[in-house]
Structure 1
Amino acid sequence: MSRKIKLLWDFRGEDGKETAKHHTIHLREFANLEKLNFHEIDIVEINPMLSSAFIIVDEINMKTFRDALKPHRGEIAE
């Protein structure tokens, strides 16, 4: 079974949460356009001034997402 990778994009400032929410729309559009599977797309609010949009993908698809979308960071999803 392959590992799941969480790719994250960080958004800072008062509008960070709304920007992260908007970014999830583009993540979903990209996955659908490229016909790529994903497990979850959502946001996490780290604090009122920092939110992250994320997508969880299978490790086998990670490079496609990473190279096209340039996430700020990635981690192994639990």
Structure 2
Amino acid sequence: MMRKIKLIWDFRGEVAAKTAEHHEIHLKEFIEVEKLEVNLTGFEILNDMYAIAFMVVEEKDMIAVRDALKPHRGEVFEENSKK
């Protein structure tokens, strides 16, 4: 089983939540255009001034997606956490 990587974009400021929510739309569009195998995206509001958008990809696709979309960071995705 191939590892999955959670690519994360950080947004800060008063409009962080709306920006992260909107960014997820573009991530879903990218998945569809590129026909990626994993289709897991989301956004989380961590507080009033900080939110993230994320996309989970197969490890084999990570470098290509990273280079195309320039996430701020990444981490190994734990299947049980769904976050």
> Does the pair score TM above 0.5?
yes
CA distance in 2, matches of 1:73, 1:32: 22
2:30: which partner in 1?
30
Q: Which amino acid aligns with 1:38?
A: V
2:13 touches 2:50 (CA, 8 Å); kept in 1? yes
Partner residue, 1:40 = 40
TM-aligned CA deviation for residue 45 of structure 1:
1.5
Residues 1-53 of structure 1 deviation map (CA, whole Å, 9 limit, x = unaligned)? 11110000011011100000000011111111111122410011121100000
Residue identity opposite 1:58 in structure 2:
E
Count of residues in Structure 1 that have an aligned counterpart in Structure 2: 78
Give the AA of the match of 1:46.
Answer: L
User: Which consecutive residues of structure 1, in runs of 5 or more, have no partner in the other structure?
Assistant: none
Structure 2: where are the runs of 5+ without partners?
79-83
Distance 2:69 2:37 in 1: 15
Superposition CA RMSD, Å = 0.9
The one-letter amino acid paired with 1:60 is K
Equivalent residues in 2 for 1:50-65 (5 A)? 50-65=50-65
> Normalising by structure 2, what TM-score?
0.88
Give the SS at the match of 2:55.
strand
Segments of 4+ in structure 1 off by > 3 A? none
TM-score of the superposed pair, with normalisation by structure 1: 0.94
